Structure 1
C-alpha cells in the first residue's frame, strides 16, 4: 500500500517504490519539473480552480501538454484527499476516465499531474446560451455514452468497486474530440466486490447531486453515483441548472419540473431548445424517463449502471414507470400511456451504441 509522509523526500521515495511495481506509467515529478512546465505557475497558465486548488496548464520538455492540480493552502480538501486520488487513479485505466500521469509531493507542495483536456468541462457548454449550441445531439449522445461507460467500469469491471461521490457536469472533462472523461477522484471510495454500501462518517459532494439516503442516513452505495448520473443526464438533455427553479410560478426544482412534464406527456418542453434533433422525440423522451428512474427517492428503485446502459441502447424489454423523484413535493398520480410512449417512437430509433466496460 502506498503511504505518504509529510516529509517530501521520504514521501516521493515511498511513492516511487510503490508505483514502480503497481502503476509503472505513473511518474513521480519533482517540484522543479512542474515549476518549469507551468512557467512558475504563471497566471497565463491558470485554466481552472476547484475544491482541491488551482489547475494550471503545463508543457513537458517532450512537448506533452499536462494539467497540474495544485493544492491551495486554504483548500477544502486535504492530504487525505490528495493521497486518495493518487492511489485510486494509479489503479484505474479506462478511456472515459482522465488519466493520471503522475504527482508531486515535494517541499510541502501537493500536486496531481493529469493529461490535458483542451475542451474544458461539460458545464462550460451546457449552461451558456451561446456555447450550448456547440453541443449538438450527436455530441451529447457521445457524452452520455462515455459517462455511462466510465461508471460501468468503476462499478463492474475495475478490480474494486469505486464510488465517485462527486459526479457532476464540472467533473466531466472533454478531450480534443469532445469525448468525455470523468475526473476528480478526491472524494471517491473503494469497495470490495462483495460489499454493497457503507455509512459515511462525513457528508461530501456537491449540493443538488447528492441522493437523499446519503444526506439523511449517510448511506453510500453505487446507487449514489446512479443518482448523480441521473442529474447529469437531465442537464445534458435540457441545458438547465440544478440550482434554478422552474415552472409557471418558478416554484419547482429541476427534478419536479422534469417529472411533471414527463407525466403530462409534455416532456419535449423540458428539452434544450438548441438541440437540432427535433425529428427524434423518442430518443429524448427515453433519456428523460431513464434520468427520472435514476433519481428515484428509494435507492432500490434506481437501475444499476449496467441496466442504464441496456436501456440507453434500447436493449431492455421493460422500463419501469418513474415514481415522483427525490426531494419532490409533487404528487404521484397515475401516468397516462401516451406520456411514456409517443406515437412516433419505435424501439429501433435510438442511436446509442454499446456501452460495455473497457
Structure 2
C-alpha cells in the first residue's frame, strides 16, 4: 500500500486542531545546555527574496514548548509513526508552532535536514512559512509561524461556530490554489496531506496553507495522507503525482461547498471513481450565486476524476476560480 489510511475524524498533525492529548508525551531524554541557535548557510537555503531557515538547538525548543508539555500540545497525527504539534514562545516574544517528528519516521538527521531545507526555501504570502528546524540528538523538529485564528476545519465543521460565508469559501479555494501554484512553479510539485486542517487563518483573517505539508511525514514518503477522504485512487498503488494534489484539492472544494467532512463511506466511492453528489451547506440559507455554486461543484468533480491525466492542472483550477471571483465582483457593482 502506498498511503496511510485512517478514519476521517482521526487527529491531524497540524496546529490549532485540538484533540484529546495522548498522555504518553515524552520529553527529550538528552537535555542540552542552551546554546545559541545557528543560521543555516545561505547557500543551502537562500534563494533570491527568501529568508534562510534558522537552526534551533533542542534546548531552545524545549524551553519554548515547556518541555513539549501536554498543555502545549495542539494535535497528534495518526498513522504508523504519529507526529505531534506544539505551541511555543521564543524570546522576543515570538509565537511559534513546533512539529515533532517520530525518530522512526526520520532516522537519518542529514536526510531530514535536506528535506526541510528544500521546503524552507519557499516563501509566499499564501503560505504559513517555515522558519526553522532542529536535528539535535534523536529529535527531528520543524518550526513554523503561528496562525492565531483557527483552521478551516474548525470554522467549517464546528457546530458552535458562526457559519462561514460564501465569499470566504471562494477566497479560501482561490488562496489555496495560488499557494499550490507557487509551490509547483518553484519545483515543489507534491503537497502532502492537503486537507481542511492544513488551511489556517492569520492575524488579518486571511487563509494560508500550512508549510508543514511541504515536508514528508516520513523519509520513504509512503504516507500521502492520514485522511482517507483526501487520498487519490493512484495512491492505492503507491503512485503520487502532482495530479494527486489536485484530487485532494477537489475534496477540499467539496468540504467548502457542503460545510461537512466527507464521510469514509463516500470517500471510498470517490477513490473508486464513482461520482458522489455534493449538497451545499444548508446553513448558507441559499445566500450564494447559483452560477458560482455550479462552477465550483463542476470544478470539484473535474478534480476528482479517477484518472490523474483527466484532472485539470493547477493553472486550469486558478483560471476557473478567477472567473468565479470576476463574476462575483461584477455582480457586486
1:298 corresponds to which of 307, 316, 325: 307
Residue 254 of structure 1: how far off its partner (Å): 6.8
RMSD: 3.5
- Residue 179 in 1 paired to residue 206 in 2? yes
Name 1:331's counterpart in structure 2: none
2:55 corresponds to which of 25, 28, 40: 28
Do the aligned partners of 2:96 and 2:145 also contact (CA within 8 Å) in 1? yes
2:151 corresponds to which of 112, 121, 138: 121
Q: Which consecutive residues of structure 2, in runs of 5 or more, have no partner in the other structure?
A: 1-29
TM-score, reference length from structure 2? 0.73
Q: Which consecutive residues of structure 1, in runs of 5 or more, have no partner in the other structure?
A: 1-6, 190-199, 262-266, 316-346, 353-358
Q: Distance in 1 between matches of 2:323 and 2:134?
A: 45
Do the aligned partners of 2:39 and 2:52 also contact (CA within 8 Å) in 1? no
Do the aligned partners of 1:122 and 1:172 also contact (CA within 8 Å) in 2? yes
Secondary structure of the 2:283 match is coil
Name 1:287's counterpart in structure 2: 296
TM-score, reference length from structure 1? 0.69
- Residue 137 in 1 paired to residue 163 in 2? no
Name 2:316's counterpart in structure 1: 307
Residue 288 of structure 1: how far off its partner (Å): 0.5
Secondary structure of the 1:66 match is strand
Name 1:213's counterpart in structure 2: 234
Residue 102 of structure 1: how far off its partner (Å): 0.7
Residue 211 of structure 1: how far off its partner (Å): 1.6
Residue 41 of structure 1: how far off its partner (Å): 2.5
Do the aligned partners of 1:98 and 1:181 also contact (CA within 8 Å) in 2? yes
Name 2:251's counterpart in structure 1: 231
1:164 corresponds to which of 168, 188, 191: 191
Residue 253 of structure 1: how far off its partner (Å): 4.7
2:67 corresponds to which of 19, 27, 40: 40
Q: Distance in 1 between matches of 2:164 and 2:207?
A: 12
Deviations 1:84-140 (A, max 9, x none): 651232221111222111111223222111100112322222222222x34211221
- Residue 148 in 1 paired to residue 177 in 2? yes
Do the aligned partners of 1:136 and 1:276 also contact (CA within 8 Å) in 2? no
Greater Cα radius of gyration, structure 1 or 2: 1
Deviations 1:223-249 (A, max 9, x none): 111111001111111012222457xxx
Q: Which has the higher contact order (CA 8 A, sep 6+)?
A: 2
Do the aligned partners of 1:313 and 1:350 also contact (CA within 8 Å) in 2? no
Name 2:260's counterpart in structure 1: 240
Q: Distance in 2 between matches of 1:287 and 1:300?
A: 20
Q: Distance in 1 between matches of 2:139 and 2:276?
A: 50
